[in-house]
Amino acid sequence: MKQLTFLIIGAGSRGSAYARAITTSTPARIGAVAEPDPFKRRVLGERYIWGESSPESSQEFDGWESWISYETERRRRKQAGEEVEGGVDGVLICSLDETHIAVLKAIAKADLLDLHVLCEKPLALSLDDCLSVYAAYTHTNSEGASKGRGKPRSIFSIGHVLRYSPHNTFLRRLVREEKVIGDIVSVEHTEPVGHWHFAHSYVRGNWRRETENGDGSLLTKSCHDVDFLMWLVEGALTSPTSDGDEEKKLRLRTVSSTGYLTQFTPSQKPPAAGSATNCASCPMERDCTYSAIRIYRDNQLRKGETRWPVNIVCADIEDYLPPGYGKYNADGTHKETSGEGDISAAESHLLSTLKQDYDENTPDEVIKKRPWYGRCVWESDNDVMDDQFVTLAWDVLPPAPPSQSKPKKNARGPGITATLHMIAPTQAQCIRRGRIYGTAGEITYTSSTITIYTFADNQTRVIEIPKQPPEEEEAHGGGDYGLARGFVGAVEKVVNEGWDVGRAQRAFVGCTLEDVIKSHGVVFAAEESRREEGVVRWGEWWEGKLAGVGL
Protein backbone atom coordinates (compact mmCIF):
# COMPACT_ATOMS: atom_id res chain seq x y z
CA MET A 1 0.00 0.00 0.00
CA LYS A 2 1.49 3.28 -1.12
CA GLN A 3 1.60 6.12 1.39
CA LEU A 4 -0.12 9.05 -0.26
CA THR A 5 1.81 12.29 -0.58
CA PHE A 6 0.37 15.76 -1.10
CA LEU A 7 1.59 19.22 -2.02
CA ILE A 8 0.32 22.30 -0.17
CA ILE A 9 0.04 25.40 -2.36
CA GLY A 10 -0.17 28.38 -0.02
CA ALA A 11 1.28 28.08 3.49
CA GLY A 12 -1.09 30.50 5.20
CA SER A 13 -3.73 29.66 7.79
CA ARG A 14 -5.79 27.38 5.51
CA GLY A 15 -2.76 25.57 4.16
CA SER A 16 -1.49 25.00 7.68
CA ALA A 17 -4.94 23.81 8.83
CA TYR A 18 -5.17 21.15 6.12
CA ALA A 19 -1.54 20.13 6.61
CA ARG A 20 -2.26 19.58 10.31
CA ALA A 21 -5.48 17.66 9.61
CA ILE A 22 -3.89 15.34 7.05
CA THR A 23 -0.77 14.75 9.14
CA THR A 24 -2.56 14.01 12.41
CA SER A 25 -5.71 12.21 11.27
CA THR A 26 -4.91 10.31 8.06
CA PRO A 27 -2.22 7.85 6.94
CA ALA A 28 -1.10 10.29 4.24
CA ARG A 29 1.69 12.83 4.53
CA ILE A 30 2.56 16.29 3.27
CA GLY A 31 5.49 15.93 0.89
CA ALA A 32 6.02 19.45 -0.46
CA VAL A 33 5.01 23.09 -0.10
CA ALA A 34 4.78 25.89 -2.67
CA GLU A 35 4.73 29.34 -1.05
CA PRO A 36 6.41 32.62 -2.09
CA ASP A 37 6.83 33.87 1.50
CA PRO A 38 10.08 32.29 2.84
CA PHE A 39 8.96 32.47 6.47
CA LYS A 40 5.60 30.79 5.90
CA ARG A 41 7.24 28.19 3.68
CA ARG A 42 9.84 27.38 6.31
CA VAL A 43 7.36 27.16 9.18
CA LEU A 44 5.04 24.75 7.37
CA GLY A 45 7.95 22.73 6.05
CA GLU A 46 9.58 22.34 9.46
CA ARG A 47 6.29 21.35 11.09
CA TYR A 48 5.00 18.89 8.53
CA ILE A 49 7.64 17.97 5.92
CA TRP A 50 11.37 18.10 6.63
CA GLY A 51 11.47 18.76 10.38
CA GLU A 52 14.90 19.79 11.62
CA SER A 53 16.63 18.65 8.43
CA SER A 54 17.31 20.82 5.42
CA PRO A 55 14.62 20.66 2.71
CA GLU A 56 15.26 18.74 -0.48
CA SER A 57 14.70 20.37 -3.85
CA SER A 58 11.52 18.33 -4.34
CA GLN A 59 10.06 19.51 -1.04
CA GLU A 60 9.84 23.30 -1.33
CA PHE A 61 9.00 25.72 -4.12
CA ASP A 62 8.83 29.51 -4.12
CA GLY A 63 5.44 29.43 -5.78
CA TRP A 64 3.02 27.21 -7.66
CA GLU A 65 4.59 28.21 -10.99
CA SER A 66 7.92 26.74 -9.87
CA TRP A 67 6.23 23.52 -8.86
CA ILE A 68 4.39 23.25 -12.22
CA SER A 69 7.73 23.61 -14.04
CA TYR A 70 9.38 21.08 -11.74
CA GLU A 71 6.59 18.51 -12.08
CA THR A 72 6.41 18.88 -15.84
CA GLU A 73 10.17 18.33 -16.15
CA ARG A 74 10.10 15.44 -13.67
CA ARG A 75 7.50 13.66 -15.76
CA ARG A 76 9.43 14.32 -18.97
CA ARG A 77 12.55 12.77 -17.46
CA LYS A 78 10.57 9.79 -16.19
CA GLN A 79 9.01 9.20 -19.59
CA ALA A 80 12.50 9.32 -21.11
CA GLY A 81 13.48 6.41 -18.89
CA GLU A 82 15.43 8.31 -16.26
CA GLU A 83 15.21 7.38 -12.60
CA VAL A 84 13.46 10.25 -10.86
CA GLU A 85 12.27 11.12 -7.39
CA GLY A 86 8.65 10.45 -6.60
CA GLY A 87 6.10 13.19 -7.19
CA VAL A 88 2.88 13.85 -5.28
CA ASP A 89 -0.49 12.18 -5.56
CA GLY A 90 -2.45 15.39 -5.21
CA VAL A 91 -2.43 19.08 -4.41
CA LEU A 92 -4.25 21.25 -1.89
CA ILE A 93 -4.79 24.76 -3.27
CA CYS A 94 -4.81 27.10 -0.29
CA SER A 95 -3.45 30.28 -1.84
CA LEU A 96 -5.35 33.56 -2.10
CA ASP A 97 -8.81 33.35 -3.65
CA GLU A 98 -7.85 35.17 -6.84
CA THR A 99 -5.08 32.65 -7.59
CA HIS A 100 -7.23 29.50 -7.47
CA ILE A 101 -8.29 29.72 -11.11
CA ALA A 102 -4.74 30.38 -12.31
CA VAL A 103 -3.44 27.30 -10.49
CA LEU A 104 -6.26 25.08 -11.76
CA LYS A 105 -5.86 26.26 -15.34
CA ALA A 106 -2.09 25.74 -15.16
CA ILE A 107 -2.58 22.17 -13.91
CA ALA A 108 -4.96 21.49 -16.80
CA LYS A 109 -2.71 23.15 -19.40
CA ALA A 110 0.28 21.10 -18.21
CA ASP A 111 -1.87 17.95 -18.51
CA LEU A 112 -1.50 17.15 -14.81
CA LEU A 113 -5.19 16.28 -14.48
CA ASP A 114 -4.38 12.89 -13.01
CA LEU A 115 -3.42 14.71 -9.79
CA HIS A 116 -6.15 14.77 -7.18
CA VAL A 117 -7.21 18.26 -6.05
CA LEU A 118 -8.63 19.82 -2.92
CA CYS A 119 -9.26 23.52 -3.54
CA GLU A 120 -10.09 25.95 -0.78
CA LYS A 121 -13.34 27.87 -1.24
CA PRO A 122 -14.31 29.73 -3.28
CA LEU A 123 -13.36 27.79 -6.37
CA ALA A 124 -13.01 31.00 -8.40
CA LEU A 125 -14.14 34.62 -8.32
CA SER A 126 -16.43 34.46 -11.36
CA LEU A 127 -18.98 32.00 -12.64
CA ASP A 128 -17.28 31.79 -16.03
CA ASP A 129 -14.06 30.73 -14.33
CA CYS A 130 -15.92 28.11 -12.29
CA LEU A 131 -17.48 26.74 -15.46
CA SER A 132 -14.09 26.70 -17.18
CA VAL A 133 -12.77 24.49 -14.37
CA TYR A 134 -15.66 22.09 -14.91
CA ALA A 135 -14.96 21.99 -18.65
CA ALA A 136 -11.22 21.47 -18.14
CA TYR A 137 -11.61 18.69 -15.60
CA THR A 138 -14.20 16.76 -17.60
CA HIS A 139 -12.91 17.12 -21.15
CA THR A 140 -12.19 13.93 -23.04
CA ASN A 141 -8.88 14.73 -24.74
CA SER A 142 -5.53 15.78 -23.36
CA GLU A 143 -5.32 18.98 -25.45
CA GLY A 144 -8.35 20.44 -23.72
CA ALA A 145 -10.57 20.73 -26.78
CA SER A 146 -14.21 20.09 -26.07
CA LYS A 147 -15.50 16.76 -27.31
CA GLY A 148 -18.35 16.52 -24.87
CA ARG A 149 -18.17 15.79 -21.20
CA GLY A 150 -16.13 12.88 -19.98
CA LYS A 151 -15.44 11.29 -16.65
CA PRO A 152 -12.99 13.13 -14.37
CA ARG A 153 -9.61 11.45 -14.08
CA SER A 154 -9.09 12.48 -10.47
CA ILE A 155 -10.80 13.28 -7.19
CA PHE A 156 -11.84 16.92 -6.92
CA SER A 157 -12.89 18.37 -3.57
CA ILE A 158 -13.75 21.88 -2.42
CA GLY A 159 -13.32 23.53 0.99
CA HIS A 160 -17.02 23.53 1.85
CA VAL A 161 -16.19 22.35 5.33
CA LEU A 162 -19.67 22.75 6.85
CA ARG A 163 -20.91 19.55 5.23
CA TYR A 164 -18.09 17.55 6.88
CA SER A 165 -18.45 18.48 10.55
CA PRO A 166 -19.81 15.67 12.77
CA HIS A 167 -22.58 18.01 13.97
CA ASN A 168 -23.85 18.78 10.49
CA THR A 169 -23.59 15.25 9.14
CA PHE A 170 -25.63 14.07 12.13
CA LEU A 171 -28.15 16.89 11.61
CA ARG A 172 -28.59 15.97 7.97
CA ARG A 173 -29.07 12.30 8.83
CA LEU A 174 -31.84 13.21 11.29
CA VAL A 175 -33.59 15.37 8.72
CA ARG A 176 -33.04 13.54 5.47
CA GLU A 177 -32.69 9.86 6.34
CA GLU A 178 -34.52 9.42 9.64
CA LYS A 179 -37.06 12.18 8.85
CA VAL A 180 -37.55 12.94 12.54
CA ILE A 181 -39.65 16.01 11.67
CA GLY A 182 -41.27 14.60 8.53
CA ASP A 183 -40.66 16.38 5.24
CA ILE A 184 -38.79 19.68 5.17
CA VAL A 185 -41.00 22.72 4.68
CA SER A 186 -38.55 25.55 5.35
CA VAL A 187 -35.09 26.30 6.75
CA GLU A 188 -33.76 29.43 8.46
CA HIS A 189 -29.96 29.51 8.71
CA THR A 190 -27.81 32.28 10.19
CA GLU A 191 -24.09 32.87 10.02
CA PRO A 192 -23.12 35.35 12.75
CA VAL A 193 -19.69 36.41 11.50
CA GLY A 194 -18.67 38.24 14.68
CA HIS A 195 -18.12 41.97 15.09
CA TRP A 196 -14.33 42.01 15.26
CA HIS A 197 -13.88 39.01 12.95
CA PHE A 198 -15.74 40.86 10.21
CA ALA A 199 -13.62 43.95 10.84
CA HIS A 200 -10.46 41.82 10.62
CA SER A 201 -11.23 39.99 7.38
CA TYR A 202 -13.81 42.08 5.53
CA VAL A 203 -13.03 45.67 6.49
CA ARG A 204 -9.26 45.64 6.99
CA GLY A 205 -8.27 42.31 5.48
CA ASN A 206 -7.95 40.53 2.15
CA TRP A 207 -11.68 40.16 1.49
CA ARG A 208 -12.79 43.78 2.01
CA ARG A 209 -13.42 44.63 -1.64
CA GLU A 210 -15.90 43.30 -4.13
CA THR A 211 -14.53 41.34 -7.07
CA GLU A 212 -14.43 42.78 -10.59
CA ASN A 213 -17.87 41.27 -11.13
CA GLY A 214 -19.31 42.99 -8.06
CA ASP A 215 -19.46 39.89 -5.87
CA GLY A 216 -18.50 40.24 -2.23
CA SER A 217 -18.65 38.72 1.22
CA LEU A 218 -21.37 36.20 0.34
CA LEU A 219 -18.92 34.54 -2.03
CA THR A 220 -15.80 34.78 0.10
CA LYS A 221 -17.36 34.15 3.51
CA SER A 222 -20.67 32.36 3.11
CA CYS A 223 -20.48 30.30 -0.08
CA HIS A 224 -20.21 27.20 2.12
CA ASP A 225 -23.37 28.27 3.98
CA VAL A 226 -25.22 28.33 0.66
CA ASP A 227 -23.70 24.93 -0.06
CA PHE A 228 -24.85 23.74 3.37
CA LEU A 229 -28.46 24.68 2.60
CA MET A 230 -28.38 22.95 -0.77
CA TRP A 231 -26.74 19.89 0.76
CA LEU A 232 -29.35 19.82 3.51
CA VAL A 233 -32.36 20.40 1.28
CA GLU A 234 -31.73 19.59 -2.34
CA GLY A 235 -31.73 16.04 -3.67
CA ALA A 236 -29.09 16.80 -6.27
CA LEU A 237 -26.55 16.80 -3.46
CA THR A 238 -27.42 13.37 -2.15
CA SER A 239 -25.65 11.47 0.57
CA PRO A 240 -23.55 8.44 -0.42
CA THR A 241 -26.29 6.12 0.91
CA SER A 242 -29.05 7.64 -1.20
CA ASP A 243 -30.55 5.53 -3.93
CA GLY A 244 -30.69 8.59 -6.15
CA ASP A 245 -34.49 8.81 -6.31
CA GLU A 246 -34.43 12.09 -4.39
CA GLU A 247 -32.70 13.83 -7.28
CA LYS A 248 -36.03 13.95 -9.13
CA LYS A 249 -38.06 15.42 -6.27
CA LEU A 250 -36.85 19.01 -6.17
CA ARG A 251 -36.25 21.74 -8.71
CA LEU A 252 -34.64 24.98 -7.65
CA ARG A 253 -37.06 27.69 -8.78
CA THR A 254 -35.82 31.09 -7.62
CA VAL A 255 -32.82 32.73 -5.97
CA SER A 256 -33.03 36.20 -4.44
CA SER A 257 -30.94 38.34 -2.13
CA THR A 258 -30.78 41.73 -0.47
CA GLY A 259 -27.88 43.25 1.41
CA TYR A 260 -26.38 46.40 2.84
CA LEU A 261 -23.08 47.85 3.96
CA THR A 262 -24.55 49.39 7.09
CA GLN A 263 -21.95 49.73 9.79
CA PHE A 264 -18.44 50.19 8.42
CA THR A 265 -18.85 53.44 6.48
CA PRO A 266 -17.51 57.00 7.03
CA SER A 267 -20.97 58.21 8.02
CA GLN A 268 -20.87 55.93 11.08
CA LYS A 269 -17.50 57.17 12.34
CA PRO A 270 -17.71 58.47 15.93
CA PRO A 271 -17.08 62.24 16.09
CA ALA A 272 -14.55 61.69 18.87
CA ALA A 273 -12.24 59.92 16.39
CA GLY A 274 -11.74 63.18 14.50
CA SER A 275 -9.61 62.92 11.36
CA ALA A 276 -7.64 59.86 12.52
CA THR A 277 -7.33 57.08 9.96
CA ASN A 278 -5.28 54.67 12.08
CA CYS A 279 -5.87 53.22 15.54
CA ALA A 280 -2.34 54.05 16.67
CA SER A 281 -3.01 57.78 16.28
CA CYS A 282 -6.71 57.86 17.18
CA PRO A 283 -7.71 59.94 20.27
CA MET A 284 -10.51 57.49 21.14
CA GLU A 285 -8.56 54.27 20.55
CA ARG A 286 -8.89 53.07 24.15
CA ASP A 287 -12.67 53.46 24.00
CA CYS A 288 -13.22 52.03 20.53
CA THR A 289 -14.81 48.61 20.06
CA TYR A 290 -12.76 48.07 16.92
CA SER A 291 -9.38 49.21 18.24
CA ALA A 292 -6.82 47.12 16.40
CA ILE A 293 -4.45 47.49 19.34
CA ARG A 294 -7.03 46.03 21.70
CA ILE A 295 -8.06 43.27 19.29
CA TYR A 296 -4.60 42.01 18.38
CA ARG A 297 -2.34 43.01 21.27
CA ASP A 298 -4.53 43.15 24.38
CA ASN A 299 -7.01 40.37 23.62
CA GLN A 300 -4.68 38.03 21.74
CA LEU A 301 -0.91 38.44 22.02
CA ARG A 302 -0.85 39.37 25.71
CA LYS A 303 -2.98 36.33 26.48
CA GLY A 304 -0.58 33.91 24.81
CA GLU A 305 -2.51 33.59 21.54
CA THR A 306 -0.11 33.90 18.63
CA ARG A 307 -2.03 32.00 15.96
CA TRP A 308 -4.94 33.45 13.97
CA PRO A 309 -5.46 36.39 13.82
CA VAL A 310 -2.09 37.55 15.22
CA ASN A 311 -0.04 35.48 12.76
CA ILE A 312 -2.13 36.88 9.94
CA VAL A 313 -1.21 40.44 10.92
CA CYS A 314 2.43 39.44 11.49
CA ALA A 315 3.28 36.17 9.76
CA ASP A 316 6.72 36.14 11.43
CA ILE A 317 5.53 36.91 14.97
CA GLU A 318 7.17 33.75 16.30
CA ASP A 319 10.60 35.15 15.45
CA TYR A 320 10.01 37.93 18.02
CA LEU A 321 8.71 35.76 20.86
CA PRO A 322 10.74 34.43 23.80
CA PRO A 323 11.29 30.64 23.82
CA GLY A 324 8.03 28.83 24.44
CA TYR A 325 5.73 31.84 24.49
CA GLY A 326 2.61 31.23 22.49
CA LYS A 327 4.15 28.24 20.73
CA TYR A 328 2.08 25.27 19.58
CA ASN A 329 2.60 21.61 18.90
CA ALA A 330 1.71 20.12 15.50
CA ASP A 331 -1.68 19.00 16.86
CA GLY A 332 -2.58 22.58 17.78
CA THR A 333 -2.06 22.31 21.54
CA HIS A 334 0.04 24.82 23.49
CA LYS A 335 3.55 23.82 24.37
CA GLU A 336 4.19 23.48 28.12
CA THR A 337 6.15 26.74 28.49
CA SER A 338 3.58 28.80 26.59
CA GLY A 339 2.82 32.19 28.19
CA GLU A 340 6.16 32.87 29.86
CA GLY A 341 8.79 35.48 29.02
CA ASP A 342 9.25 39.08 27.94
CA ILE A 343 7.15 39.80 24.84
CA SER A 344 8.05 43.47 24.40
CA ALA A 345 9.88 42.74 21.13
CA ALA A 346 6.83 40.96 19.75
CA GLU A 347 4.56 43.79 20.85
CA SER A 348 6.78 46.38 19.18
CA HIS A 349 6.81 44.37 15.97
CA LEU A 350 3.02 44.02 16.06
CA LEU A 351 2.49 47.73 16.71
CA SER A 352 4.86 48.72 13.90
CA THR A 353 2.71 46.68 11.53
CA LEU A 354 -0.53 48.17 12.85
CA LYS A 355 0.83 51.71 12.40
CA GLN A 356 1.24 51.21 8.66
CA ASP A 357 -1.27 53.41 6.83
CA TYR A 358 -2.00 55.20 3.59
CA ASP A 359 -3.30 58.62 2.65
CA GLU A 360 -5.05 60.36 -0.24
CA ASN A 361 -1.82 60.37 -2.25
CA THR A 362 -1.33 56.61 -2.10
CA PRO A 363 -2.19 54.95 -5.45
CA ASP A 364 -5.21 52.69 -5.27
CA GLU A 365 -3.19 49.87 -6.83
CA VAL A 366 -0.94 49.98 -3.77
CA ILE A 367 -3.83 50.15 -1.31
CA LYS A 368 -5.78 47.20 -2.65
CA LYS A 369 -2.82 44.82 -2.90
CA ARG A 370 -2.50 44.25 0.84
CA PRO A 371 -4.43 44.35 4.12
CA TRP A 372 -4.22 47.31 6.52
CA TYR A 373 -4.96 45.87 9.95
CA GLY A 374 -4.45 49.12 11.90
CA ARG A 375 -6.69 51.18 9.62
CA CYS A 376 -9.80 52.84 11.07
CA VAL A 377 -12.81 50.65 10.23
CA TRP A 378 -14.80 53.76 9.26
CA GLU A 379 -12.06 55.07 6.97
CA SER A 380 -11.23 51.84 5.12
CA ASP A 381 -11.64 51.04 1.43
CA ASN A 382 -14.12 48.21 2.10
CA ASP A 383 -17.30 47.85 0.04
CA VAL A 384 -18.65 44.36 0.83
CA MET A 385 -21.97 43.74 2.57
CA ASP A 386 -22.05 43.41 6.36
CA ASP A 387 -25.72 42.35 6.39
CA GLN A 388 -27.16 40.09 3.68
CA PHE A 389 -30.15 37.79 3.21
CA VAL A 390 -30.48 35.03 0.61
CA THR A 391 -33.73 33.23 -0.14
CA LEU A 392 -33.92 29.96 -2.09
CA ALA A 393 -37.18 28.36 -3.27
CA TRP A 394 -37.69 24.88 -4.68
CA ASP A 395 -40.66 23.24 -6.38
CA VAL A 396 -41.41 19.73 -5.18
CA LEU A 397 -41.70 17.30 -8.10
CA PRO A 398 -43.74 15.56 -9.27
CA PRO A 399 -46.74 17.76 -8.38
CA ALA A 400 -49.16 16.51 -5.80
CA PRO A 401 -51.98 14.30 -7.20
CA PRO A 402 -55.00 16.37 -8.25
CA SER A 403 -57.79 16.49 -5.72
CA GLN A 404 -61.52 16.54 -6.39
CA SER A 405 -61.80 20.09 -5.12
CA LYS A 406 -61.08 23.14 -7.22
CA PRO A 407 -57.47 24.42 -6.86
CA LYS A 408 -57.07 27.54 -4.76
CA LYS A 409 -56.66 30.72 -6.75
CA ASN A 410 -53.01 31.76 -7.30
CA ALA A 411 -51.79 28.79 -5.26
CA ARG A 412 -48.37 27.38 -6.03
CA GLY A 413 -46.97 24.31 -4.46
CA PRO A 414 -45.89 22.23 -2.88
CA GLY A 415 -42.46 23.74 -2.31
CA ILE A 416 -39.55 24.30 0.07
CA THR A 417 -37.91 27.57 1.07
CA ALA A 418 -34.62 28.32 2.77
CA THR A 419 -33.01 31.53 3.95
CA LEU A 420 -29.46 32.46 4.84
CA HIS A 421 -28.69 35.52 6.94
CA MET A 422 -25.05 36.60 7.02
CA ILE A 423 -24.65 39.28 9.66
CA ALA A 424 -21.51 41.04 10.93
CA PRO A 425 -22.25 42.77 14.28
CA THR A 426 -22.71 39.70 16.48
CA GLN A 427 -21.34 38.33 19.73
CA ALA A 428 -21.02 34.83 18.29
CA GLN A 429 -18.16 34.30 15.87
CA CYS A 430 -19.10 31.90 13.08
CA ILE A 431 -21.16 29.84 15.56
CA ARG A 432 -23.97 29.10 13.16
CA ARG A 433 -27.56 28.60 14.24
CA GLY A 434 -30.84 27.81 12.57
CA ARG A 435 -34.27 26.29 12.55
CA ILE A 436 -35.74 23.61 10.29
CA TYR A 437 -39.52 23.40 9.96
CA GLY A 438 -41.04 20.06 9.00
CA THR A 439 -44.45 18.53 8.48
CA ALA A 440 -44.15 16.59 11.76
CA GLY A 441 -42.09 18.93 13.94
CA GLU A 442 -39.18 21.34 13.99
CA ILE A 443 -35.49 21.34 14.79
CA THR A 444 -33.41 24.17 16.19
CA TYR A 445 -29.65 23.88 16.02
CA THR A 446 -26.49 25.62 17.06
CA SER A 447 -22.96 24.44 16.40
CA SER A 448 -23.07 22.19 19.46
CA THR A 449 -26.68 21.18 20.11
CA ILE A 450 -29.73 19.97 18.22
CA THR A 451 -33.24 20.37 19.70
CA ILE A 452 -36.10 18.34 18.25
CA TYR A 453 -39.78 19.09 18.87
CA THR A 454 -42.44 16.74 17.46
CA PHE A 455 -46.07 17.75 17.02
CA ALA A 456 -47.66 14.35 17.60
CA ASP A 457 -46.45 13.84 21.18
CA ASN A 458 -45.65 17.45 22.13
CA GLN A 459 -42.21 16.31 23.20
CA THR A 460 -38.89 18.14 23.10
CA ARG A 461 -35.53 16.43 23.25
CA VAL A 462 -32.08 17.98 23.20
CA ILE A 463 -29.17 16.14 21.62
CA GLU A 464 -25.71 17.13 22.78
CA ILE A 465 -23.09 16.42 20.14
CA PRO A 466 -20.10 14.58 21.67
CA LYS A 467 -17.04 16.74 22.12
CA GLN A 468 -14.18 16.29 19.69
CA PRO A 469 -10.49 16.77 20.45
CA PRO A 470 -9.84 20.52 20.91
CA GLU A 471 -7.71 20.81 17.79
CA GLU A 472 -10.55 19.36 15.70
CA GLU A 473 -13.31 21.34 17.41
CA GLU A 474 -11.49 24.59 16.69
CA ALA A 475 -11.17 23.69 13.00
CA HIS A 476 -14.70 24.57 11.83
CA GLY A 477 -16.29 22.21 14.32
CA GLY A 478 -14.30 19.30 12.93
CA GLY A 479 -15.15 20.23 9.34
CA ASP A 480 -11.50 20.68 8.32
CA TYR A 481 -10.66 17.22 9.59
CA GLY A 482 -13.77 15.63 8.10
CA LEU A 483 -13.00 17.17 4.72
CA ALA A 484 -9.35 16.08 4.87
CA ARG A 485 -10.25 12.52 5.85
CA GLY A 486 -12.88 12.31 3.11
CA PHE A 487 -10.51 13.62 0.45
CA VAL A 488 -7.64 11.37 1.48
CA GLY A 489 -10.03 8.42 1.81
CA ALA A 490 -11.25 8.91 -1.74
CA VAL A 491 -7.73 9.21 -3.13
CA GLU A 492 -6.71 6.13 -1.15
CA LYS A 493 -9.44 4.06 -2.77
CA VAL A 494 -8.47 5.20 -6.26
CA VAL A 495 -4.69 4.88 -5.88
CA ASN A 496 -4.38 1.80 -3.70
CA GLU A 497 -7.57 -0.14 -4.35
CA GLY A 498 -8.36 0.70 -7.95
CA TRP A 499 -11.77 2.23 -7.37
CA ASP A 500 -13.45 4.20 -10.13
CA VAL A 501 -13.01 7.95 -9.52
CA GLY A 502 -16.74 8.62 -9.59
CA ARG A 503 -17.48 5.91 -7.07
CA ALA A 504 -14.80 7.12 -4.65
CA GLN A 505 -15.87 10.75 -5.13
CA ARG A 506 -19.46 9.98 -4.18
CA ALA A 507 -18.62 7.66 -1.30
CA PHE A 508 -15.97 9.78 0.45
CA VAL A 509 -16.23 13.36 -0.81
CA GLY A 510 -20.04 13.21 -0.95
CA CYS A 511 -20.54 15.35 -4.04
CA THR A 512 -19.33 15.67 -7.60
CA LEU A 513 -17.54 18.51 -9.34
CA GLU A 514 -20.85 19.28 -11.04
CA ASP A 515 -22.46 19.73 -7.61
CA VAL A 516 -19.64 22.09 -6.62
CA ILE A 517 -20.15 24.19 -9.73
CA LYS A 518 -23.91 24.39 -9.21
CA SER A 519 -23.48 25.41 -5.57
CA HIS A 520 -21.18 28.24 -6.65
CA GLY A 521 -23.66 29.14 -9.36
CA VAL A 522 -26.35 29.75 -6.74
CA VAL A 523 -24.01 32.17 -4.94
CA PHE A 524 -23.38 34.14 -8.14
CA ALA A 525 -27.12 34.15 -8.84
CA ALA A 526 -27.78 35.56 -5.37
CA GLU A 527 -25.19 38.29 -5.87
CA GLU A 528 -26.73 39.19 -9.23
CA SER A 529 -30.13 39.39 -7.53
CA ARG A 530 -28.72 41.71 -4.85
CA ARG A 531 -27.07 44.05 -7.34
CA GLU A 532 -30.01 44.22 -9.74
CA GLU A 533 -32.73 44.09 -7.05
CA GLY A 534 -34.57 41.30 -8.81
CA VAL A 535 -35.41 37.62 -8.53
CA VAL A 536 -33.35 35.11 -10.49
CA ARG A 537 -35.43 32.36 -12.09
CA TRP A 538 -32.93 29.61 -11.70
CA GLY A 539 -33.83 27.20 -14.52
CA GLU A 540 -33.60 29.63 -17.42
CA TRP A 541 -30.75 31.58 -15.79
CA TRP A 542 -28.61 28.47 -15.29
CA GLU A 543 -29.32 27.09 -18.76
CA GLY A 544 -28.27 30.43 -20.21
CA LYS A 545 -25.01 30.44 -18.26
CA LEU A 546 -24.15 26.90 -19.34
CA ALA A 547 -25.00 27.62 -22.97
CA GLY A 548 -22.88 30.77 -22.87
CA VAL A 549 -19.72 28.73 -22.34
CA GLY A 550 -20.71 25.81 -24.51
CA LEU A 551 -21.71 23.35 -21.79
pLDDT band at 147 (very low <50, low <70, confident <90, very high): very low
pLDDT band at 495 (very low <50, low <70, confident <90, very high): very high
In this predicted structure, which of 203-217, 289-303, 407-421 has the lowest mean pLDDT? 407-421
pLDDT band at 146 (very low <50, low <70, confident <90, very high): very low
Residue 203 carries which DSSP code?
I
Q: CB 496: neighbour CB atoms within 10 A?
A: 14
pLDDT band at 521 (very low <50, low <70, confident <90, very high): very high
Report the percentage of the chain scoring pLDDT > 90.
80
In this predicted structure, which of 161-165, 406-410, 508-512 has the lowest mean pLDDT? 406-410
**Alpha carbons 523 and 218: distance in angstroms, whole number:** 7
- Give the pLDDT score at 473: 87
Inform me whether the pLDDT recorded for 331 exceeds 60. Answer: no
Inform me whether the pLDDT recorded for 238 exceeds 80. Answer: no
Q: What is the mean pLDDT of residues 523-533?
A: 97
Q: Are 130 and 445 in contact (CB under 8 A)?
A: no
Inform me whether the pLDDT recorded for 364 exceeds 60. Answer: yes
Q: What is the mean pLDDT of residues 266-287?
A: 97
Q: What is the mean pLDDT of residues 391-409?
A: 73
User: What kind and span of H or E run contains 453?
Assistant: strand 449-454
Q: What residue ranges do the domains of the chain occupy?
A: 162-264+384-402+412-479, 266-368
Q: Are 31 and 117 in contact (CB under 8 A)?
A: no
Measuring CA to CA, how many Å separate 395 from each of 324, 405, 442, 481, 538? 58, 21, 21, 35, 11
Burial 49-82 (b: 16+ CB within 10 A, else e): bbeeeebeebbbbebbeebbebbeebbeeeeeee
**Alpha carbons 208 and 382: distance in angstroms, whole number:** 5
156 has which bridge partners? 117
Inform me whether the pLDDT recorded for 236 exceeds 50. Answer: no
Q: Are 135 and 551 in contact (CB under 8 A)?
A: yes
**Alpha carbons 113 and 199: distance in angstroms, whole number:** 38
- What does the longest C-alpha to C-alpha distance in the chain come to? 82
Inform me whether the pLDDT recorded for 280 exceeds 70. Answer: yes
pLDDT band at 318 (very low <50, low <70, confident <90, very high): confident
- Give the pLDDT score at 403: 61
CATH 3.30.360.10 fits 162-264+384-402+412-479, yes or no: yes
Q: What is the mean pLDDT of residues 420-437?
A: 96
pLDDT band at 333 (very low <50, low <70, confident <90, very high): low
Q: What is the pTM of this model?
A: 0.91
Q: What is the mean pLDDT of residues 360-385?
A: 97
Half-sphere exposure of 497 (CA within 13 A, CB side): 11
Q: Read off the pLDDT of residues 174-230 as tens digits, 9 standing for 90 and up.
A: 999 999 999 999 999 999 999 999 999 999 999 999 998 889 999 999 999 999 999
Inform me whether the pLDDT recorded for 338 exceeds 50. Answer: yes
pLDDT band at 121 (very low <50, low <70, confident <90, very high): very high
- Give the pLDDT score at 203: 98
- Give the pLDDT score at 324: 76
Q: Are 93 and 120 in contact (CB under 8 A)?
A: yes
